[in-house]
Amino acid sequence: MERSEKWKRNSVLAMNTFGFTVMFAVWVIFAIVGIAIRKELSLGETEFALLVALPILTGSLLRLPVGMATDWIGGRPIFTALLASSAIPLLLLCFATRYWQYLVLGLFIGMAGTTFAVGIAYTSAWFPQRLQGTALGIFGAGNTGASLTKLFAPALMLVVPVGGLGFIPGGWRFVPFVYAIAVLVTAAIYWTFTYTDHSHHKQETIGQLLAPLKHVRVWRFSLYYFLVFGGYVALSLWLPKYYIDVFGLPLKDAALLAAIFVFPSGIIRAPGGWLSDRYGARTVMYWVLSICVGTTFLLSFPDVDLGFIVPARYMGSGEAPRLSLRMTPTLFTGIVFVLGIAMGIGKAAVFKHIPHYFPDKVGSVGGLVGVIGGLGGFVMPILFGVMTQATHLPTTTFVFLFVLSVTCLVWMQVVVRRMSRDAAPLIAEEMEPGLRPATARRTP
């Protein structure tokens, strides 16, 4: 039976979101099994950090070439191939015993992170511009796959005894075994319920695919994503430590409070896409960046204890009343919750821009933006550690994010003012719906 176009595009969106959720869970597998490997090999702090971070790094760097390949070949075969091929390093991980083997396999497992660039291009090809923000927001919500690993991997480690049962490995090695089966099943389901979009089959050179990267606009979008996605990933890694060091909370409580930032920020991405369609991506980004500026500003202040002397004739004594400004765990959690919501909406708004300005290069442009965002998640925790060690002020984490947020907001404002000044010769339809400056006029 011939399916309608609407049914096909909704099926493609559902499968892209499902596949991305599974692959995001694979991408962060070392966050859980790496703890067991660390104990098994008696790894130091640097060795453990490299083990956990390597898949994130490679998955980010390879988004651009994989995105270009999607523009050229098509999303359906690329996504299916990535799903199926991920089973190989996952199965090999079950039998690895050396540190270098884990690192090499981590490089290949990191390919799971490139499915983001594939899904962005493949999803946008099936939806009209007015619906792309919503569709890309729904797809991007698949980054909650990280939650699946945190929720289920620890339990899977206890299902089979360490020695294994026959050909089934036990202990932590059972986790990649189950994940390998999961990606193979997902690949079969994905191929069955997706369809080929023939507009992707473009015979273009690498130079033509990379041509949009000459536009400053692409790098501006990348900086936005460095903040909203890179900052999201960085804080999801950093907040448990922050709660422990600053507020003295036990690990269990710290992880729970950090989850209040992590989970809503991932889920809100879908409504963020709808808001971008409804009000325009630039309008949404104005609100997102303004909230990021405000929240990070409040979080940047260390606790202070201000004392001042009030004349005795007014107080009846010579005692000095004191004014304390302190950030409690409850207040801190409330503010980072708002910051996380803003970042989640911002992730969708950034990618709403791309198919509007670069409809034929969504894979390559989205790949670059994804690369920069992913690198933010890799680089920022290191910067946080260096700044905290140098200043002995944990709040420098948010000082950096505040400066970055202000930079993004100022850059956007400069661009919008220039567009407003030059709007007269522009054709109204070339400007983003709902974002036209007041000076813009429709041409006859």
- Is the pLDDT confidence value at 347 over 80? yes
pLDDT, greater one: 148 or 191 = 191
Query: Phi and psi (nearest 5°) for 436?
Result: -70, 135
Residue 202: per-residue pLDDT: 56
Cβ–Cβ under 8 Å, residues 374 and 60? yes
pLDDT, greater one: 124 or 403 = 403
Residue 434: per-residue pLDDT: 40
Per-position DSSP letters for 223-277, written without gaps between them: HHHIIIIIHHHHHHHHHHHHHHHHH---HHHHHHHHHHHHHHHHHTHHHHHHHHH
Q: Where are the alpha helices (DSSP H) in 326-361?
A: 329-357
Cα–Cα distance measured from residue 90 to residue 96, given in angstroms and rounded to the nearest whole number = 10
Closest CA to 388 of 376, 375, 399: 399
CA–CA distances in Å: residue 255 to residues 146, 216, 235, 405: 14, 39, 12, 26
- Is the pLDDT confidence value at 297 over 90? yes
- Side chain identity at 231, as an amino acid letter? G
Classify each residue of 262-286 as buried b or exposed e, where b means 16 or more C-beta atoms within 10 Å of its C-beta: bbbbbbbbbbbbbbbbebbbbbbbb
Residue 324: per-residue pLDDT: 55
Q: Where are the domains of the chain?
A: 1-192, 212-433
- Is the pLDDT confidence value at 201 over 70? no
Residue 311: per-residue pLDDT: 52
Q: Which CATH architecture has domain 212-433?
A: Up-down Bundle (1.20)
- Side chain identity at 192, as an amino acid letter? T
- Are 1-192 and 212-433 in the same CATH fold? yes
Instruction: Enumerate helices (H) and strands (E) in the chain, giving the number of each.
Output: 21, 2
DSSP tag of 423:
-
Cα–Cα distance measured from residue 265 to residue 144, given in angstroms and rounded to the nearest whole number = 9
Q: Full-prediction pTM beyond 0.85? A: no
- Is the pLDDT confidence value at 306 over 60? no
- Is the pLDDT confidence value at 314 over 60? no
Half-sphere exposure of 330 (CA within 13 A, CB side): 0
Cα–Cα distance measured from residue 224 to residue 235, given in angstroms and rounded to the nearest whole number = 16
Least confidently predicted of 201-215, 258-272, 350-364: 201-215
Cα–Cα distance measured from residue 193 to residue 187, given in angstroms and rounded to the nearest whole number = 10
Least confidently predicted of 140-144, 264-268, 301-305, 431-435: 431-435
Burial of 207 per CB tally in 10 Å (0-12, 13-18, 19+): exposed
pLDDT, greater one: 318 or 245 = 245
- Is the pLDDT confidence value at 441 over 60? no
Least confidently predicted of 43-52, 207-216, 334-343, 417-426: 417-426
- Is the pLDDT confidence value at 281 over 70? yes
pLDDT, greater one: 264 or 91 = 91
Least confidently predicted of 56-60, 64-68, 237-241: 237-241
Q: Which CATH architecture has domain 1-192?
A: Up-down Bundle (1.20)
Cα–Cα distance measured from residue 142 to residue 16, given in angstroms and rounded to the nearest whole number = 9
- Is the pLDDT confidence value at 282 over 80? yes
Cα–Cα distance measured from residue 119 to residue 16, given in angstroms and rounded to the nearest whole number = 6
Q: List, for residues 68-93, the tens digit of each pLDDT value.
A: 788 788 889 999 999 999 999 999 99
